[in-house]
Amino acid sequence: MAAPKVAVVGAGVIGLSTALCISETCPSCSVTVLSDQFSPNTTSDVAAGMLIPHTYPGTPIHVQKQWFKETFTYLFAISHSAEASEAGIHLVSGWQVFKNTPKEELPFWSDVVLGFRTMSKAELQKFPQHQFGQAFMTLKCDCPPYLLWLEKRLKATGVQMYTRRVADLWELHSEYNVVVNCAGIGAHQLVGDKELFPVRGQVLKVHAPWVKNFIRDGDGLTYIYPGIHRVTLGGTREVESWSLSPDPGTTKDIFDRCCSLEPSLRRAQDIKVKVGLRPSRWCVRLQRDVLSQGGVKLPVVHNYGHGAGGFSVHRGTAKEAARLVGECIAALQVSSSRAKL
Amino acid sequence: MRVAIIGAGVIGLSTTLCIHEQYHSLVPSLEMEVYADRYTPHTTSDGAAGLWQPYLSDQGNLQETLWNKETFDHLLRHLGSPAAKEMGLFLISGYNLFTQPVPDPSWKNIVLGFRNLTAKELELFPSYSYGWFNTALMLECRSYLPWLTNRLMQRGVKFFHKKVESFQEVSGDGVDVVINCTGVRAGELQPDPELQPGRGQVIKVLAPWVKHFIITHDIKSGIYNSPYIIPGSEFTVLGGIYQHGNWNEENSAQDHRTIWENCCRLLPALQKAKIVEEWSGLRPARPCVRLERETLRHGHLQAEVIHNYGHGGFGITIHWGCAMAAARLFGSILQEKKLASLPQPRL
């Protein structure tokens, strides 16, 4: 087969990082990214990009840990290189605090992040409503910078990117040998996956440059994540809500909750409100598939459904997806050489 | 009762506020006047990054360790208040890096969450093999000094833009107590061979992705002669110069290169940071802080002087503890003058 042609559908953090991994592992492949949205209009752009994993009930923990570890290691190296600021990757330390001591005091990722330990009584005094806490250091991927940096890396390796709304994966069968589905919440429509559902998140992005530490309530609903230029305040988790319009009542509620964790936020300026739909699923759909019509087959690799944990595992799942693409190509090469006999 | 304070850096202004807060209701006639030739943003305090961190060793000076703790606790209490942002006060975490293991510092239980660095964290800093991580405070004087000034003006404290050439200049005019917060130039009012400038130079850059302070240490070069990076609310301060005895307040091109190269080696991403400002200042270095009373006699006139200077590179770190100690000395003066009935001053 001449240079295999791979289409990656989706240009959020999953689509772009998957395209990059494919071009890294298969240099002979011609990779094209197709998406109706690019940064700054993807779901990823709304997210704070914190490397704090979400737990998928349907994926074995050791797999999730491996994905997280690979992602952390990859970003850690970028964070102390000269490219860190351009890539939007930086280290940030802070606290996760709980109103009630959690059953699981040591999350599965505690030995992947840096310096994980229980908070002292003196540290907890800052959070009078919380009785237990964990302190650690992790990484943050600021978007748009991270996505723009991925786009730049992709262009440098010859990957083409086109704005195109793909209505049906099959429409790509004549132009591409393999299709990779990184459509995120778009997969609900694109492949009719009823197990995929939105979890609506509203966040505020504010100017409060004196906030240097992250603070997260263990319930996952209230968080303060300092980025390069803005601090992300969150949030909400509204299951099955498809609305992308900001809700003013929610804005006030988020702001109040965050100010009760960090009173100095009352002085925050220039509040911008954003909404994203987390592409949630009981497990990440990371698997091969085949579409066929009239004897023609189109190999597909799915890589979507990362919900609240996209950034935390993106590189790990991208590498796995690239490996699956490699398998698809190998299978195509076998069948194409068989066809020649 | 008239009190003249000479010096309007962090020491002068905080001492004035501390005394006024404690005594204005006890001494209705209390009038306080600040004299200085430099006000914010032109004081030594304004150039400092503002990180609360004492030197590594207290050299047995437990009193200074206590003053540091009092300052930290005082600031920590203000963190949750609405004034914090206006004061330039916020929490910050970061690293202290060493090339060999060192004993824990006297302040390990004053700061929050003090711990050693893990091996993985040390991978970030290949030239260093040992270190600490803790959460401390930033107090940016470019905000704090104006905040103090506002509080003082609200209390009726008067400010005079004047270079005071001698204690007599202020004390002869009916002033009962002079508070000497003149920092590095205290020797001009009264010779003090123990007071020397500890010249520093810093480069201020835009590097908002840096969220932690990084202070390196080289036991051989001495304190602050090893690169440090301190992110503020607007700019990140790069430094690492300490020249004992150097009075030059001009920026040095060689020091600029030293700071820039060393800091970029420590954090390669800084190469992309935009340089915004460069500044040199003179730390008022002294083997220990001079915080004591002195009675000055000039002819038949007598004035009480409270000295509060010589805070080196830890003025912000120690300021409130010293202000309170100065206030106690003030209280003992009042008692002697029978101007207020107060409990015995603590020794």
Q: What is the pLDDT of residues A106-136, one digit of tens each?
A: 999 999 999 999 999 999 999 999 999 999 9
Mutate: best of B87, B209, B229, partner A, most A CBs <10 A: B209
Q: Is the pLDDT of residue A268 over 60?
A: yes
Contacting residues of B for A81, CB less than 8 Å apart: 268-269
Asked if the structure places residue A340 within a domain, the reply is: no
Q: Is the pLDDT of residue A211 over 90?
A: yes
Contacting residues of A for B233, CB less than 8 Å apart: 209-210
Look up the ipTM and state it: 0.92
Q: Please, which pLDDT band fits residue A340 given cuts at 50, 70 and 90? A: low
Under a CB-based contact definition with an 8 Å cutoff, are residues B319 and B11 in contact? yes
**Which residues of chain B from 240 to 269 reach within 8 Å of chain A, CB to CB?**
267-269
A156 burial class (0-12, 13-18, 19+ CB within 10 angstroms)?
exposed
Rounded to whole angstroms, what are the CA distances from B10 to A162, B92, B100, B285?
Answer: 58, 20, 34, 15
A34 lies in which domain range? Answer: 5-335
Asked if the structure places residue B100 within a domain, the reply is: no
Asked if the structure places residue B5 within a domain, the reply is: yes
Q: Give the per-residue pLDDT at B221.
A: 79
Which positions in chain A have a beta carbon within 8 angstroms of at least one beta carbon in chain B?
79-86, 88, 90-94, 114-115, 117, 119-120, 122-123, 126, 135, 137, 142, 209-213, 226, 228-229, 263-264, 266-267
Contacting residues of B for A142, CB less than 8 Å apart: 209
Q: Please tell me which residue of chain B has the smallest CA distance to A134.
A: B113
How confident is the prediction for chain B on average, in pLDDT? 94
Q: Is the pLDDT of residue A90 over 80?
A: yes
Q: Could you tell me the CATH number of the domain that includes residue B313? A: 3.40.50.720
- Asked whether the beta carbons of residue A91 and residue B212 sit closer than 8 angstroms, the reply is yes
Q: Give the per-residue pLDDT at B342.
A: 53
Q: Give the per-residue pLDDT at B59.
A: 78
- Using CB atoms, pick whichever of A88, A114, A209 lies closest to residue B233: A209
Q: Give the per-residue pLDDT at A28.
A: 93
Q: Give the per-residue pLDDT at B240.
A: 96
Span A60-77, mean pLDDT? Answer: 97
How confident is the prediction for chain A on average, in pLDDT? 96
Contacting residues of B for A75, CB less than 8 Å apart: none
pLDDT digits (tens, 9 = 90+) for B77-96: 999 898 999 999 999 999 99
Q: Give the per-residue pLDDT at B222.
A: 79
Asked if the structure places residue B67 within a domain, the reply is: no
- Using CB atoms, pick whichever of A114, A135, A226 lies closest to residue B118: A114
> How close, in Å, is residue B261 to chain A by CA atoms?
13
Under a CB-based contact definition with an 8 Å cutoff, are residues A67 and A313 in contact? yes
Q: Give the per-residue pLDDT at A60.
A: 96
Q: How many independent structural domains does chain A possess? A: 1
Q: Could you tell me the CATH number of the domain that includes residue A254? A: 3.40.50.720
- Is B44 annotated to bind a ligand? Reply is yes
Contacting residues of B for A73, CB less than 8 Å apart: none
Contacting residues of B for A93, CB less than 8 Å apart: 93, 133, 211-212
- Using CB atoms, pick whichever of B92, B124, B269 lies closest to residue A212: B92
Asked if the structure places residue A183 within a domain, the reply is: yes
B83 part of contact set with chain A, CB < 8 Å:
no
The b-or-e profile of A187-219 (16+ CB within 10 A means b, else e) is: bbebbebeebbbbbbbbbbbebbbbbbbbbbbe
Q: Is the pLDDT of residue A336 over 90?
A: no
Asked if the structure places residue A341 within a domain, the reply is: no
pLDDT (tens, 9 = 90+) of chain B, 347 residues, equals 999 999 999 999 999 999 999 999 999 899 999 999 999 999 999 999 999 999 988 777 899 999 999 999 999 999 989 899 999 999 999 999 999 999 999 999 999 999 999 999 999 999 999 999 999 999 999 999 999 999 999 999 999 999 999 998 988 778 999 999 999 999 999 999 999 999 999 999 999 999 999 999 998 877 788 999 999 999 999 999 999 999 999 999 999 999 999 999 999 999 999 999 999 999 999 999 999 999 998 787 788 999 999 999 999 999 999 999 999 999 999 999 876 555 555 55
Contacting residues of A for B124, CB less than 8 Å apart: 80, 91
- Is B182 annotated to bind a ligand? Reply is yes
Task: Name residue B307's amino acid.
Answer: H
Asked if the structure places residue A257 within a domain, the reply is: yes
Q: Is the pLDDT of residue A2 over 80?
A: no
Asked if the structure places residue A194 within a domain, the reply is: yes
Asked if the structure places residue B83 within a domain, the reply is: no
Under a CB-based contact definition with an 8 Å cutoff, are residues B57 and B98 in contact? no
Q: Please, which pLDDT band fits residue A104 given cuts at 50, 70 and 90? A: confident
Q: Give the per-residue pLDDT at B337.
A: 85
Contacting residues of A for B138, CB less than 8 Å apart: 210
- CA angle (B260, A76, B215) in 5-degree steps: 40
Under a CB-based contact definition with an 8 Å cutoff, are residues B49 and B230 in contact? yes
Under a CB-based contact definition with an 8 Å cutoff, are residues A329 and A63 in contact? no
- Is B316 annotated to bind a ligand? Reply is yes
Q: How many independent structural domains does chain B possess? A: 1
Span A186-206, mean pLDDT? Answer: 97
Asked if the structure places residue B91 within a domain, the reply is: no
- Using CB atoms, pick whichever of B118, B120, B271 lies closest to residue A82: B271
Asked if the structure places residue A200 within a domain, the reply is: yes
Dihedral of the alpha carbons of B329, B330, B331, B332, in degrees to the nearest 10: 50
- Asked whether the beta carbons of residue B113 and residue A123 sit closer than 8 angstroms, the reply is yes
Secondary structure letter of residue A125 according to DSSP: T
Q: Give the per-residue pLDDT at B57.
A: 83
- Counting every residue written for chain A, the total comes to 341
Is the link from the previous residue into B88 a cis peptide, with omega within 30 of 0? no
CA distance A4 to B87: 61
B336 lies in which domain range? Answer: 1-50+140-193+287-346
Block residue for tokens 């002869």: B172
Asked if the structure places residue B62 within a domain, the reply is: no
Closest C-alpha among B106, B101, B92 to residue B59: B106
Q: Output the CA torsion sign for A281, A283, A284, A285.
A: negative
Asked if the structure places residue B326 within a domain, the reply is: yes
> How close, in Å, is residue B125 to chain A by CA atoms?
9
Mutate: best of A231, A264, A266, A267, partner B, most B CBs <10 A: A264
Which residues lie below 8 Å from residue A10, measured CB to CB, with a gap of 6+?
Answer: A33, A35, A181, A182, A183, A184, A186, A304
